[in-house]
A and B are shown apart, each in its own frame.
Chain A
Amino acid sequence: MIDFVNVKKAYPNGTMALKGIDLHIDEGEFVFVCGPSGAGKSTLMKLLLREERISSGKLTVGEYDLSELSNVRVPYYRRELGVVFQDFRLFPKKTVFENVAFAMEVVGTPKSLIARRVPAILNTVNLNGKQDSFPNEISGGEQQRVALARALANNPKVIIADEPTGNIDPKMSLEIMSLLIKINKLGKTVIVVTHEKDLVDYYKQRVVMLDNGLIVEDRVGGMFNAQV
């Protein structure tokens, strides 16, 4: 599904953010990407989202070879991904329903399908009855669930969550992580970038540990690595 082959990334200022990453993630896997600040986690995400191009090596996601992907094809590639951010990035003037529907509107989904699908997705993330609320009327955890629902809106194959629990309390964090596990069980590949040791240890999923631009540990059922 996702293949990093000796991927290196250097920024124009000379910083070598990734120094040769080899990583294979199968379809339907759940992976935590962990590591200290400056380890290369954000760069890895940016490469997966094709915000940045790799400097050398080969990176493929499904049928897309990101080393070769032209700018024109990027939007079509991104429709295969669902992205969740630490700061939710919801539209404050749109309702919960409209926030989720927006992701479908921008890819030209017919209104009738949007009307059917959005309530079903909101049900998946336990937001029944909240569809007419505005983001400022619901809790942080609920806002993150709206973001998760939006990530699911176009039925992507891969969900990428960048510090999804960074802005919410521990109880809500567990809820969000449980939802991500649930989504993974529905067949989606889930990649979660986090530095929250307790959550990683609690869920015992595959852990890819980065440090100084290199993978220092990759273990199924792993723990937040004590070696780093």
Chain B
Amino acid sequence: MRRYNPFYFIGQAFEGLFRNGVMSFASIAVLTSLLVVIGGFTLLVTNIDVNLDEFGLINQIVVFCDPNASDEQIATIGEAIGKLDNIESVQHVTKEEGLEQMKAEYDIYDDVDEANNPLPDSFVITYLENEKVPNLDYQLNQIEGIAKVNNRLDLATKIEGFKRGVMLVFVWFLVILGVVSIFIIINTIKLSVFSRRNEISIMQYVGATGWFISLPYIIEGAVIGIVSSVAAYFIEWYIYSYIEEMVITDLQMISILQFTDIRGYVFWGFVGLGIITGVLGSIISLARYLRQ
């Protein structure tokens, strides 16, 4: 039975990493940058989504009833809304529930009780299509007993547009940095292969398979990926913590995810992406050996 020593492959991989130290460092630096940028954009987009959800800007309109409307009138308003086109769901928020929500979010409502509650009953409407919102807005304004229609479509559209812009920049960064990273890793591995060309030629003459020859270089690529991902994780952590603190202190209107809640995703995401990029670069540069 053929038995291969795994330490041989790992040892050869590290030997290659140190033999071409400068190129290995360059690969790690570029891949780390790529991962930090990817992580940064992903966290930005995720936080935008969280805020959009929180503000209820996604496919939602809030209508406030006349404060003097009776319970029967309010029920009639709810039925009328439910019959309109482009409606997914309607949720009735009583003025008592509204007060509870406000108390939970803002300290200034602490002294307000039900006797002096200024809030009217409201309906949170989730609609289906953005394009039909102006029409829906008009129809809601025609219903008797509705005092105000809070249609935040403009703001939602602007934030959605910003998100799309961020995604576009993100995709381009991803493509450019991805190509540069793979290109540099390919050259690092090629240098490593070149410096061991005599060894490889002897291995070929004594019957080593393409995989046996290539495995140390694939491990070398994976190690570059792992080192880069760990470095990127700590950089991302540092940057994100700084932004998190700034948002909590100065921009209280904006919600931000806690890094401690998402660090597992960030770390394993980086490790996965790092290994895939490193190994892919190695495989491309070793194609001629692997075909054997």
Q: Which A residues from 42 to 73 make CB contacts under 8 A with B?
A: 49, 71-72
- Most B CB contacts (10 A, CB to CB) among A76, A81, A102, A111 go to A102
A75 and B207 form a contact (CB under 8 A)? yes
The reply to whether the CB of B199 lies closer than 8 angstroms to some CB of chain A is yes
A154 to B208, CA, bound (A): 12
B202 CB to closest chain A CB, in angstroms? Answer: 6
Minimum distance in angstroms from A110 CB to a CB of chain B: 5
Query: How far apart sit A51 and B209, CA to CA, in the bound complex (Å)?
Result: 14
Contact A71 B206 (CB under 8 A): no
Q: Which residue on B lies nearest to A160, using beta carbons?
A: B205
**B205–A78 CB distance below 8 A:** yes
Is B203 at the interface (CB under 8 A from chain A)? yes
Q: Which residues of B contact A103 (CB under 8 A)?
A: 202, 206
* A208 CB → nearest B CB, Å: 22
Contact A83 B2 (CB under 8 A): no
Q: Are B206 and A72 in contact (CB under 8 A)?
A: no
CB of A68, distance to nearest CB on chain B (Å) = 16
Known: A89-B198, A89-B201. A110 touches B207 (CB 8 A): no
B: interface residue count bin: 20 to 34
Q: Which of B8, B206, B208, B212 meets A150, CB within 8 Å?
A: B206
Contact partners of B208 in chain A: CB under 8 A: 75, 106-107
Task: Specify which chain B residues have a CB less than 8 angstroms from the CB of A109 in the assembled complex.
Answer: 2
Specify which of A71, A72, A76, A91 is in contact with B207 (CB 8 Å cutoff). A76
A contact residues around B203 at 8 Å (CB): 106
Within 8 Å of chain B (Cβ to Cβ): is A201? no
Task: Report whether B3 and A72 are in contact in the complex, using a CB–CB cutoff of 8 Å.
Answer: no
- The closest CB in chain B to the CB of A91 belongs to B199
Report if B292 contacts A (CB, 8 A): yes
A12 contacts partner chain B, Cβ-Cβ < 8 Å:
no
- Which B residues are CB-close (under 8 A) to A89? 198, 201-202
Residues of A within 8 A of B198 (CB): 89, 91
Partner of A108, one of B2, B199, B202, B205: B2
Nearest neighbor of B205 in chain A, beta-carbon distance? A83
Is B4 engaged at the interface, CB distance under 8 Å to the other chain?
A: yes
- Rounded to whole angstroms, the CA-CA distance of A91 and B203 in the bound complex is 11
Complex Cα gap A79–B206 (Å): 6
| Distance A74 CA – B2 CA, assembled complex (angstroms) | 17
Q: Is A107 a contact partner of B205 (Cβ separation < 8 A)?
A: no
Chain B residues, Cβ within 8 Å of A107: 2, 206-208
Could you say which residues of chain A place their CB within 8 Å of the CB of B8?
105
CB-CB under 8 A from B210, the residues of chain A are: 72, 75
Q: Which of B201-237 contact A (CB under 8 A)?
A: 201-210, 212
Nearest chain A residue, comparing its CB with the CB of B213: A106
Q: How far is the CA of A49 from the CA of B2 in the complex (A)?
A: 23
Taking a contact as CB atoms closer than 8 A, the residue among B1, B212, B291, B292 that contacts A106 in the complex is B212
Residues of A contacting B135 in the complex (Cβ-Cβ under 8 angstroms): none
**Which residues on A sit within 8 Å (CB–CB) of B201?**
89
Instruction: Give Cα A109–Cα B5 distance, bound, in whole angstroms.
Output: 10
In the complex, what's the smallest C-beta–C-beta distance from B196 to chain A, in angstroms?
A: 10
A84-99 contacts to B, CB under 8 A, are 89, 91
How far in angstroms is the closest Cβ of chain B from A38? 24
Some 27 contacts from A to B, beta carbons below 8 A apart, are A72-B292, A75-B204, A75-B207, A75-B208, A76-B207, A77-B207, A78-B204, A78-B205, A78-B206, A79-B206, A83-B205, A89-B201, A89-B202, A91-B198, A103-B206, A105-B5, A105-B8, A106-B206, A106-B208, A106-B212, A107-B206, A108-B3, A108-B4, A110-B3, A111-B5, A150-B206, A154-B207
Contacts A72-B210, A106-B212 known; list 9 others, CB within 8 Å: A75-B207, A77-B207, A78-B205, A83-B205, A102-B206, A106-B207, A106-B208, A108-B3, A111-B5
